[in-house]
Structure 1
Amino acid sequence: MTNRQSGTAGKLHYGWIVAGVTFAALLVSAGIRSLPGVLMLPLEEEFGWDRSGISAAVSINLVLYGLMGPFAAASMERFGVRRMMVTALSLLGAGLALSTATTALWQLNVLWGVVVGLGTSVMANVLGVTVANRWFVRRKGLVVGILTASAATGQLLFLPLLAALSVQAGWRAAVWTAVAGIALMIPVVARWVRNHPADIGVPPYGSDDLVEPAPFVGNLFLRPLSVLRSAMRSGTFWLLAGSFFICGFSTNGLIGTHLIPACGDFGIAEVTAAGLLAFMGVFDLIGTTLSGWLSDRFDSRWLLFWYYGLRGLSLLFLPTALDSGYIQLTLFSVFYGLDWIATVPPTVKLTADKFGPAQAGIVFGWIVAFHQLGAAVAAFEAGLLREWFGSYDVAFMTAGYVCMLAALLSVRIRRTTQVRPARGASA
């Protein structure tokens, strides 16, 4: 067996290089998605905008981030991963740079909501799933876990820095720092990312057989809708989409957007609150990577049951932690952090098992759309509840209870028995 045939012996398989560059690009995108939580209080102070108005811009961003995911997956098939990544990063850079001149709330809605939302829709979980499916046969769950964990690592690296810059030099300095990160990332992606193993004449990692990419068939806009129509006939799709709606409702829409403002209500400084999120990110990096490893070995339905159940308990504890001090908040950060997005690898596994590798990327894109709809609802709803009740307690408790519902939905998913394809069959 030659190195060219196996793609795994001898020198480093090129799939790991593509995965590494993708991890870095997703990491930068995660830092950008963390900005609203850092900038909410400075924007409120400078312009006098209320929290629900700022949250509406975040909600628009999250909705587009999710709804465009299936079309982003189809565009990667049609135009290639590298071209779509470069386009998305360029769009992000332009949207962020223009946002520094914002003076009205409608401008924030257009730039942060629409432009940045469209850019981040490509730099999302569907990108990691596409890269993992194309470049890996073995270690696929682990790769999905690592690429998903880049969101946590982005918080780890960027949140304290961006929060400190926002406090010391103003929120525009934090935004320009993010623009600089994008500018550095674009040439790296253009140089090192390849669309498919066949482009360089090697099989996917863990396979002995060269696989030619399937030609894109159908209309770029109609194919995702056709796949959705087919998937909607399956009860498994609705269970996965419903539980992932709750996943978004209880993570980036709620904690990612509102934890820093919630800490501010208790006199906790922005930089300290950002440090808590970064600390949470350390444990999410561990938890999500471990979840990818576990999803290769255990029943993903029961993994989701435990992930959602434990997340619900941690959110029910959060109001007490905020009122009790740093030790309790640190405990929350560890417990919740291990579970932040650990749900992604088993959800990807269940999607691929049910719908097959040919449609898994687009179907998962639609499931992510439900995730982001949940996040958008939470981002706006939490800001509104904060204005009504003067605290985030009701928002946090509601999210905790709906996570218990997601745990029950997960075990209702039917087990799918995959038939192993014949040797040499196209992926």
Structure 2
Amino acid sequence: MTRNDPMAQQPINYATLALELIRRAKLPHPNGELLKCYVKESVGNEVAARYFLKRCSRSRCCEGTGLQGFLSDWKKLVSSFRWIHVSRGILQRQQNQSYTYLKSVTCKANSILKWLAVTLIVAFFAVWRLMPGNVRMRGYKALAYVGKRIYPASESFKIQRLPFGLFLKGTDLRWQQGLINEYHALKMIPRYCTTAVPRALDLVSDSDDIYMVMTRIPACHLGLCFDTLDDAEVEALIRDLRKFVTELRAIPRAPEAEGKISNVIGEACFDHRINLGLTFDQGRGRDFVGPFANEDEFNDILTHPGVPDVRHRSGHPIVFTHGDLNMRNVMMENGKLSGVIDWENSGFYPEYWDYTKAHFITKINKRWLGIVDRVFSPSGEFETELETEFKYWRYCQ
């Protein structure tokens, strides 16, 4: 190249080179993330990256040099802050924010006591549901009042933790179909799946609101503990999620409903992805669409006039689907999958739907998306469907 060649004038981006070296090293978690933080978070990241590359380029025969030597030195420095230990302690305290008897009944060693506690709660609600709806509504509102003063605010304005290991989920009647769908899903799933879900205990409404009462899964959201999981825990999570997805897809349907795309009880679908390309229709209702007799009808509503040449193929098996699989809805306890929550979007959809929806909801956390790819890989190859969805998303979002 000559001196006037524009390629010769481009400065070297040391940070980019350093990050590429770290990526190619394929270090176990969290080693790779620690080195990336060193490059990205340094006050002068180009200077830091240049020093990192210089250390890594030294002769391997020199003790303490190279990538592993740098990693060892960096881990000694950051370990003094003990961030991972602190975060684990916070999570442990969060999981223990319950009454003493709830701690004991969620312990494997006390499975009999746990069974007894659940049996008593279920028996109580079997009798309680005989009470008039307005009486139950007043009772739940009173419990919600107490819960707001005992427990920290929920991540969702629709959810309130209650005493006695319960949760109250409510909405106004305009959105009642979503809550009714979740109630029926929680009733059905335990008959076919071993993965824990909240136990639906009651569904009641008045002239303004509808409430569902369900049991609490004693755990924390995956998103809160995700960075503390080591590679072995991630592998166990992948195995557990694969089993969960396989069990979901095996849930049977009535023969007359085969091929139909609908919610759990055969009625209209409620899904934020479907609503993405739709304008609100007063006659249709609050973004509940369908049901669809077949996949061709479903594809018709996904098709957008702005990208008329983009369309999903038909012919996918229609299987039971969670519809909102993300790190908020996957629950963990002691580094293991303990349950899955939030089933209002569930229903029977094409087999790729849970996979593409997971990518739709989360687009930045590559480690989680890598887990999603591995969880669904035994179920089929859905790259074409994901690319079709990306084309829709780029236009509609």
TM-score normalized with structure 2 length? 0.24
Give the structure with the higher percent strand: 2
Rg larger for: 2
TM-score by length of structure 1 reads: 0.22
